[in-house]
């Protein structure tokens, strides 16, 4: 996950200049599950909680 976030962060910062002023594009956390074991509501709750943690 660290490699994926690092590569996508570099690509996004090159494509969108305003992101280069941000200290970080991604948080250190991530969520992994199979599509059969998680509902869209679970994912939505997870994403919403990420906004309030940092």
pLDDT at 54: 46
Please report the pLDDT score of residue 4 as a whole number: 92
Task: Write down the pLDDT at residue 11.
Answer: 95
Determine whether 36 is exposed, middle or buried from the number of CB atoms within 10 Å of its CB (0-12, 13-18, 19+): exposed
Return all residues near 9 (Cβ < 8 A) that are at least 6 apart. 24, 25, 26
Q: For residue range 1-54, what is the model confidence (pLDDT) as tens digits?
A: 889 999 999 999 999 999 988 898 988 888 777 767 788 898 888 888 876 654
Q: How far apart are CA 35 and CA 5, in angstroms?
A: 21
pLDDT for the residue 52: 62
> How do the domains of the chain map onto residue ranges?
2-53
Measured CA to CA, the distance from residue 47 to residue 29 in angstroms comes to: 11
What confidence score (pLDDT) does residue 1 get?
87
């Amino acid at each position: 996950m660290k490699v994926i976030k690092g590569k996508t962060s570099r690509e996004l910062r090159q494509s969108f200049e305003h992101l280069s002023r941000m200290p970080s594009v991604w948080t250190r956390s991530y969520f992994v599950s199979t599509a059969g074991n998680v509902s869209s509501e679970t994912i939505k709750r997870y994403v919403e909680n990420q906004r309030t943690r940092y």
